[in-house]
Chains A and B, each alone.
Chain A
Amino acid sequence: SAVISQKPSRDICQRGTSLTIQCQVDSQVTMMFWYRQQPGQSLTLIATANQGSEATYESGFVIDKFPISRPNLTFSTLTVSNMSPEDSSIYLCSVEDNYGYTFGSGTRLTVV
């Protein structure tokens, strides 16, 4: 299966600031997915990132709050902008490979 390197693994941020999360995949993939897992909750898809086009956002998520970059077929970033305590969650990237969907180890974000 694909190997995903996600960083940072955790961060504590001040409200009103922004954090950029990076995901690097060891193989070229067409689509990369970004998820949010709020405390004690399931995973919710934020957006799908394709190389060379704008990301596709799910209902309830907007580009101004969660801008995404996808400069090539192995890398993507998600920025959480103008953060508030409600943004405290685990953020995960994912790709589809021959086995199913592989996930990064996640970024545990705490906003204070």
Chain B
Amino acid sequence: GDSVTQMEGPVTLSEEAFLTINCTYTATGYPSLFWYVQYPGEGLQLLLKATKADDKGSNKGFEATYRKETTSFHLEKGSVQVSDSAVYFCALRGDYKLSFGAGTTVTVRA
């Protein structure tokens, strides 16, 4: 079945550091891929998505590229801020439903 393997944290960074969170997937066909973010005490928000190979999703300075050859969708941000502290979830849409990775807790220190 469909599955998502996500780099587990926690990850602690200093402000303005580069962030990468690895995500790989197993699925039949070509699923849509997502990154969701959960800020402390808040609900789950869509951060970015990509629907086909080589698509790049971007939002709030975050980027992720759909790599079919490596079945990956790694999340990157060039310069993180304290406000980026959150839990990040990689997910894929197989058939009609989402499958989530384990989540990565990111803490950014000033």
Contacts and interface: CB of A to CB of B under 8 A. Distances in A.
A92 B100 CA distance: 14
B46 interface: yes
Contact of A100 (B46, B96, B99): B46
Contacts of B103: 41-42
Contacts of A42: 89, 100-103
Interface residues of B, number: 19
B39 to A, nearest CB: 12
A36 B7 CA distance: 21
Nearest to A33: B97
Interface of B: 32, 34, 42-46, 49, 89, 91, 93, 96-103
Interface of A: 1, 31, 33, 41-45, 48, 92, 94, 96, 99-106
25 contacts: A1-B46, A33-B97, A33-B98, A42-B101, A43-B44, A43-B89, A43-B100, A48-B96, A48-B97, A92-B43, A92-B44, A94-B98, A96-B96, A99-B46, A99-B49, A100-B32, A101-B34, A101-B93, A101-B98, A102-B46, A103-B44, A103-B45, A104-B43, A106-B43, A106-B44
Given A92-B44, A100-B46, 6 more contacts: A41-B102, A44-B100, A92-B43, A100-B49, A101-B93, A103-B43
